[in-house]
Amino acid sequence: MAKYRDVIGGCLFFIFAAAYYNMALGIRQFSAGSGMVDSQFMPKVYAILLMVLSAIQVLQGVHHVKKREAEADEGSGLTVKDQIISFITSFLLLIIYVALLDSVGFVIMSALFIICMTILLSTKEQRSKKNLLKLILISVAFSVIVFMIFVDGFGLTLPEGILS
């Protein structure tokens, strides 16, 4: 996987740049004014530069793969499957937190999020019952204090949710 990194990255960048160029063509323009430089101009320049550079990167990447057939993985001891699973769970957790923030409220969601995320980030040995109790206390206290400081102290509005 690691040895194809540059090829994959370059391809993704190229696809993105091409799509961006295509969208840039759809920008409305006013013919009057500063000649060739309108609102499409810079985006098109960026897209073309990005396409050229990503093509170079893909070529470099292919060259690299040929030269060093079996480059060792970083030795992080992680399989691709592990990485994808942990990425999806942590990212899902972030999305759920933001998505429910408005309806459920800042205090409850933050406390739940801190508990779940900390469990996800810690190792099995670190998850004793005593630690879990401490964690729940810390997360609830933290959420309540942050809410009070920002809302009462600094006049910010944060979603109150079902506690309102």
Partner 1 sequence: MLAEGLASVLMNPICIVWVFIGTLVGIIFGCIPGLTATMAIAMFLPVTYNMAATQGISVLMALYIGGISGGLISAILLNIPGTPASIATCLDGHPLAAKGQAGKALGVGIVFSFLGTMISLLALVLISPPLASIAIKFGPFEYFSITIFSLTLIITLSSQNLVKGIMTGILGLVFATVGLAPVDSVQRFTFGNPNLNNGFDILTVLVGVFAISEIILAAETAHAKKKDEGTVLTDFTIHGFGFSLVEFKTQIVNMLRSSFIGILLGILPGIGSGTSNMLSYSVAKSQSKHPEKFGTGIIDGIVASETANNATIGGTIIPLLTLGIPGDSTSALLLGALIMKGVQPGPLIFEQNGQVVYAIYAAMALASVCMLGIMFFGLRGFVRILKIPGYLLLPLVFVLCTVGAYGINNQLFDCYSLLFFGFVGYLLEKGKYPMTPLILGFVLGNIMELNLRRSLSYSMGDFSVFFTRPMSCTFLVLAAVSIIVNLYVVYRGRKKEAQEAK
Identify residues 118-157 at the interface with partner 1 (CB under 8 A). 118, 120-123, 126, 135, 138-139, 142-143, 146, 150, 154-157
| Residue 22 found at the interface with partner 1 (CB under 8 A) | no
Residue with Cβ nearer partner 1 (64 or 70): 64
Q: Give me the DSSP letters along 56-84.
A: HHHHHHHHHHHHSTTPPP------HHHHH
Binding residue (CB under 8 A) for partner 1 from 56, 137, 141, 148: 56
Residue 22 burial (10 A CB sphere; 0-12, 13-18, 19+): exposed
Residue 64, classified by CB atoms within 10 Å of its CB into exposed (0-12), middle (13-18) or buried (19+), is middle
Instruction: Tell the smallest beta-carbon distance from residue 148 to partner 1 (Å).
Output: 12
Q: 155, exposed or middle or buried, with CB in 10 Å at 0-12, 13-18, 19+?
A: exposed
For CA atoms 21, 23, 25, 27, give the dihedral sign: negative
Which residue in 15, 78, 141, 148 binds partner 1 (CB under 8 A)? 78
Please report, as residue ranges, which positions from 79 to 118 form the binding site for partner 1 (by CB under 8 A): 82-83, 86-87, 89-91, 94-95, 97-98, 101-102, 106, 110, 113-114, 117-118
Residue in 3, 18, 57, 132 binding partner 1, rule: CB under 8 A: 57
User: Residue 66 or 123: which CB sits closer to partner 1?
Assistant: 123
For residue 11, give the 3-state DSSP assignment.
helix
